[in-house]
Structure formats: structure tokens, C-alpha cells
Chain A
Amino acid sequence: MSKLGKVLQMKNRSVFSSLLVFVALVLGCAASRLAAAKPPEGDLGPPVGPPIHAVLTAPPNVPPPTHRHQPAKVIVELEIRELEKEISQGVRYTFWTFGGTVPGSFIRVRQGDTVEFHLKNHPDNKMPHNIDLHGVIGPGGGAASSFTAPGHESQFTFKALHQGIYVYHCATSPVGMHVGNGMYGLMLVEPPEGLKPVDHEYYVMQGDFYTVGKYREKGAQSFDMQKAIDEKPTYVLFNGSEGSLVGDNALSAKVGERIRLFIGNGGPNMVSSFHVIGEIFDKVWFEGGTRFQENVQTTLIPSGGAVIAEFHTVVPGSFIMVDHSIFRAFNKGALAILKVTGPENKLVYSGKEVDSVYLGDKAENLKVVSQVAASAAQGTLTVEQQVKAGEALFAGTCSVCHQANGQGMEGVFPPLAGSDLLAATPKRAIVIALNGLSGPITVNGKTYNSVMPPMSQLNDDEIANILTFVTHSWGNTGSAAFSAAEVRDARKATARPPGAAD
């Protein structure tokens, strides 16, 4: 702009502002006449102090509390970026984002604040966009005033009259595509008194994604409108990527801390059954409202809705957050991890004490096993004792596949009862029990081709007893009993497959 132009503009501005003063005076008179008109509910008066620039944070971080006790004018500057990023390992997707992340930047204001909202559509973007903030009362939640072409900026102002946690999203046609590409986020309107301090606040938002390629199909993937219309998502994700909240990116806390989650659901289609495996929410402000429910296991978050959930950590470990519509967690990516570190509390949670299959009323029989172990130590072990102990152990470990009657399952699990293979090479059973067996074998004229995992977690006594039981049951003509020493030797002589116990 030329210098003259600038001068003219400044002149205009001063003329304009004096005009404003005049208009304000006139309006002021008019207003005093209308003074009886009440301010809207939730209005806490005019802004106090200089304008404040809102701190925006990328997920999973949440801006610090406002710590304010008076309404302020808050300036929010949100930039829209269209970016190619990883949706899953090796899978690229062009996301449309508020602030460069999915979900978009977290906005935190206080009830009664006057928010001057600047929506900037980056010049490198291809699409026009706007914003519909569910926390805004007005046409389109701001969408009417924020339709913005690439390389342009829109501004509108609203008063945050209602406290709560609110979704915002793009509402440009076709809306489902803009939302489906990641254009949503959360705005927290703090109550006037603020929220109770906690040790951690985290920002997690679920969304469903529709790609032309299948789940985890590598390369650049594009949006699939038909899948979106059919509501058949390829991915259901927390924070826009399969890896966003696992591994090094997992959320973290220590034992004995209080955690507040702001959990949103951008949709566009799916409703979330949000659950943290191994935790119970102390309080959930369901639907983002002012009432809370206590002692909640799973909370329902509608598409375009959000909740505040609080819980405290008691024991260490990895706590997995899922959409408990559970195929989404394990086959579409809706999985996040909270890593809690600190001392164990065995009174609350013991860790694994027994590793066995459910025994039902046979649990009593395990007493036999310990008696037999004692006999073995004293050198007074009999074959009968071994068979008895082996029976109890077999029921726990082996009968799931080979069946309680040793008949196995035709075509899947070979029989042990009357097995010609076992009769021919009884001692091979030790190695099979220790190291497992996979690939084709023929038993009693029938071919089996499946996998038996190694059972090397059993000790030498246990394996000897099980095999003694097997070779002395169901009409198997017992060879000599198996001894723990034989098993110990086989354990030394052979190598365990990777991952098996030594």
C-alpha cells in the first residue's frame, strides 16, 4: 500500500472512531432507556482487563487453567492446515486440521469470557472451511460467520455463556467429509470457580476414518465417500493416528495421582463406548454437562459430544483405553495407553499368582500335586501318586485341547487315548510337552496339522506326572513311569522355541 493510502486509512480510522463514539453515545442513551432488559443467563458482565491471547495446545495436552475470577476478552487464533500425515504405520492420509493436529487445538476459556475468534485458512490449503463451535449460541455455532476461502481469515466474537466441554468442527459442505478428514476438536468453558486441581489433564478424542484401501493397507490412502455413507469405517482412532497414544507416546502418570480426561468424539458416524481397562472412573460428567455420575466403568460419548472423566491411580501398569465396541479397538485402531509407574500395592492387586486354566471343582485335586511333590522330595513317590497328580495337572493344562477323556478332537487335536504314536515313542512325549509341536503328524491313521504351544512353564515334576498319567490312562498300556530327572535332562538337551519359558 502506498504511504498516502496508509495515511488516508489512518485518517479514515480516526474519523471512523469519532463516529463510533458518537454512535455509542446515542446508543448509550437508547440503552439506558432499555436498561430493564436483563443480561442473558450465564453472562458474568463485561470483560475486565486487557485482552488475553488464549493458549492453544496440541493433543494430548490441555492448556493450563485460566486462574481468572473475572470475565475477560480472550483472543483465539486458530489456523486450518491440510496436511499429509501417518494414519497408521506406513499409511499416509491427507488430514484437514484445526491447528495442524487431529483432533484440533484444545481451547480453554472461562464462563462469561468474550471470545474474539480468528479462523485462518492457510494459503496452501485447497478447501474453504468454517467452524461450528458447540459452545457458541448463534447461527451455525459460528459457521455462519466463519466461511473462509484458502488464504483468508474470518473473525467473529461470542460470549461463552455456558460452562462445559464442547466439540467444535468444520461445517462446510460436504460436512461429513470435512469431519471425516479430522476437522474437530474440543473447547472447555471453565465454570466461574474453575475446576478442582488434579495431577494430570489429558485430551483424547475419538474419530472414525474411511479410506479406499483396507485397514493398514500401505501407501497414500484417499477418502472413501461410499464407506462413509455406509458408516463402515476403516479406522476408528484416538487422536487421529494408530500410534498417537501408544509406545513412547503413551499418556503417563504415577501411582496415587488424580487424572482428568477430556474425551471427545468427533465422529462423523460412530458412537464411542469409552472404557479404561483396569480403571474405574471416580466421576464422569456425562455428555459434558454439569452433573456427574460416580463409579463408572464405561461411558457413552455421542458423535459430536464430549465428557469429562476423573479417576485416580492406585497400582502401576499399562492401562489401555478402548472403545469397548471392541472390534474397533483391536481391528480398527481405537486403542490408547496410560502408563502408570510407581510401587506395587499387592493388597489392591496382586499380580499373577496362579497361571492355570479354570479348574472348576477340580481345584481341590491340586492338593494331590503338592502331596506328590513332597513324596518325590522324600524319595517315596509311587506311580499311583504320580498318576493322581498328573490327572489334576492334565485337567488344568492339557484337557482343553486333548479333552478330559484323552480323545482329542478329530482333525484338530490328536488323541492321546490309544495313540499309536505315543505307544511307539513314549519318551518323545517329554520333548513335545517341553517344546511344543507343529506341522503334520499321523496318529492312528489320521493326519493332524496344527500347533501345540510349548508347555515348558511346567516344572520337571509336573511334566513327569502328567506324562505318567497319560501313559497309564484310557487303556494306554503304561510303559514305565516318567521321572523328573528324565524331564530335566530333556530340558537341558533341547532348545525351547523363542518366547517359551526356559
Chain B
Amino acid sequence: MLLALGGAAGLSAAERAPVPGADFVSVLPSGTQAPAVHVGSFAMDRQPVTNAQYLAFVLEHPQWRRDRIAKLIADGDYLSHWAAADRLGESVQPDQPVTRVSWFAARAYCEAHGGRLPDWQEWELVAAADEQHADARHDPDWQAKILDWYGRPASEPLANVGLGAANYYGIQDLHGLVWEWVEDFNALIVSGDSREQGDPDRLKFCGAGALSLKDRENYAVLMRIAFLSSLEARSTAHSLGFRCASGRDP
């Protein structure tokens, strides 16, 4: 089965782009005096995981079929857009990013493919790039592109993966296609604790907006954090997918 699906279910390192280590200033506070954190080198999928790839995974690991999965690890909407538990159907494209997958499911997929979910800092580091620059966050065009996507309702059908331009690292579709799971999504609220006037609920309330919008360019990224922090590990959503990463030097 795996062979039959060949490249579609591809999982090899070639599908992952190497990301060199870097000192990176995250929108989240570093928790130390230094503004930057060091992110060791790692590799990340060039594209989000597709329906076809995820279907291959489900066929090989039937415990992740929507009719067999425990409600504890995926909510009732898990893969609900597929025609059947083992079939995509007419209205779902093989090359669309897979969505309506829980964090548990995304994690299991990555493990089965010799990887793991990227953590927030890794994701943010790679997503800060545009086609030419490793860090384009101060570029109004970069922001405009992200905000434009926020401004469009999610009711339009999702585009296929791989249509977005490859960024500085050769990685595509970080913006403008789907939200993506990260390994430590659950810590994104907790990290509020490390702030000086730490209120762990800060991201939920008005205060977060005022505090975090000191730098206007932060807010595009901040909305991604807001989205992720609204989730539970069993949650799924129509516009929420994932990609995998692997390796990490110190």
C-alpha cells in the first residue's frame, strides 16, 4: 500500500528542508534577559501534510480511522469532510492539506514518518522568512500577505499544497493556506507566566492586545498564537492542518 502511494505518502528527508540554527527574537518573551533565543538546526517538511498522505497513514494505522479513534484524542469533527473513514471522496482533493486532525493525530503521523511536530519557535523562525530573506517580519508586504488571508472567510475551498512560493528555506505554504499544529501549542498560554505581570489568561483578554501590539508587525503572528491557544489537543478545525519536523541540534 505504501509503495502504491509512492511519492504522495512521501516521508523521506528529501521532503524536508534543512533549517540552519539561528538566534531568533520571538514574539513571545524569551523568559531570560536576552531578547533572542537560540534555535538549533533542524529539518521541516517543505509542504503541509496532504489528504492523500494522511489517508495512506490511516490505511496503514487503522486505529486513526475516524470510526475507530477514541473521542478522547479527537473530537467529533475529526476527518469529517472525508467521504468515508478510508476514502476521500469526490469533493476532497488528494493534494489539499489535510485538516480536521487533532494534535494527537498529527503527532502520531509525524512519529510514523520519522519526525515530530515542530515546536512554536521553530515554526515561527521558518515562517518569518519571505522568498529572499530569513527574517521579513518588518516588511509590509510580508505582513499584508498574512493579514489578507486572515481577512478572507474560511468558507472557500482550500487550495492544493505547493502553490505558494518557496521561502528562503525552500519551505512553502506557511502563510495563506491553513493554521498548523505545533508540538507545544499548549504552552503558548503558560508562557504568559514568564512575563513580568504574568497573568496566564492574558492572551484571552483585552490586556493581551495592548501588551503585545507594541510592535505592530507582531500582531499578524500573534493571531496565530491566539488561534492555537484556543485549542485543546483533541480539537480539530476546518482550517487547521500540520506539517512535520525532525532533528534538532542544541
Contacts and interface: CB of A to CB of B under 8 A. Distances in A.
Interface string A200-226: 000000000000000000000011011
Given A94-B153, A173-B222, A173-B223, A124 B238 contact: yes
Given A152-B235, A175-B209, A126 B150 contact: yes
Contact of B216 (A84, A130, A149, A225): A225
Contact of B209 (A83, A139, A173): A173
A82 B203 CA distance: 21
A172 interface: yes
A222 B153 contact: no
A140 B206 CA distance: 9
B153 A83 contact: yes
B194 interface: no
**A contact residues, range:** 35 or more
A82 B219 contact: no
Interface stretch (B32-40, B160-168, B224-232, B241-249): B224-232
A174 B219 contact: yes
A150 B238 contact: yes
Nearest to A174: B209
Contact of A149 (B71, B206, B231): B231
Contacts of B204: 130, 140, 143-144, 147, 171-173
A132 B209 CA distance: 14
Nearest to A224: B147
Given A124-B153, A124-B238, A150-B237, A177 B227 contact: no
B213 interface: yes
A432 to B, nearest CB: 54
Nearest to B75: A152
A84 B151 CA distance: 9
Nearest to B68: A2
Contacts of A176: 209, 213
A172 B236 CA distance: 19
Nearest to B203: A173
Contact of B151 (A147, A148, A149, A222): A222
Nearest to B179: A126
B155 interface: yes
A125 B154 contact: yes
A225 B206 contact: no
A172 B231 CA distance: 13
A128 B154 contact: no
Contacts of B230: 128, 147-149, 152, 172
A150 B239 contact: yes
B208 interface: yes
Interface string A207-249: 0000000000000001101100100000000000000000000
Given A150-B239, A229-B213, A94 B152 contact: yes
Contacts of B239: 126, 150
A123 interface: yes
A151 interface: yes
A174 B153 contact: no
A300 interface: no
A126 B226 contact: no
Interface in A152-184: 152, 171-177
Contacts of B150: 126-127
B226 A173 contact: yes
Contacts of A94: 151-153
Contacts of A148: 230
Contacts of A130: 204
Nearest to A178: B209
Contacts of A152: 75, 230, 235, 237
Contacts of A177: 209, 219, 223
A150 B226 contact: no
Best-buried of A125, A149, A229 by chain B (most CB within 10 Å): A149
A179 to B, nearest CB: 9
A222 B148 contact: yes
Contacts of A149: 227, 230-231, 235, 237
Interface in B195-211: 201, 203-206, 208-210
A361 to B, nearest CB: 59
Contacts of A151: 77, 236-238
Contacts of A144: 201, 204-205
Nearest to B202: A173
Contacts of A147: 204, 229-230
B226 A172 contact: yes
A147 B179 CA distance: 17
Contacts of A173: 203-205, 208-209, 212, 222-223, 226
A305 B217 CA distance: 30
Contacts of B227: 127-128, 149
A1 B76 CA distance: 9
List the 6 closest pairs (A to B, CB-CB), nearest first: A128-B230, A173-B208, A175-B209, A124-B155, A126-B154, A174-B209
28 contacts: A82-B154, A94-B153, A124-B153, A126-B154, A127-B150, A140-B205, A143-B204, A143-B205, A144-B201, A147-B204, A149-B230, A150-B239, A151-B77, A152-B75, A152-B230, A152-B235, A171-B205, A172-B204, A173-B203, A173-B205, A174-B209, A174-B219, A174-B222, A176-B213, A222-B147, A223-B147, A223-B151, A229-B213
Given A143-B205, A150-B237, A175-B206, 15 more contacts: A82-B154, A83-B153, A84-B153, A94-B152, A128-B231, A132-B206, A140-B204, A149-B237, A151-B236, A173-B203, A173-B223, A175-B210, A177-B219, A177-B223, A222-B148
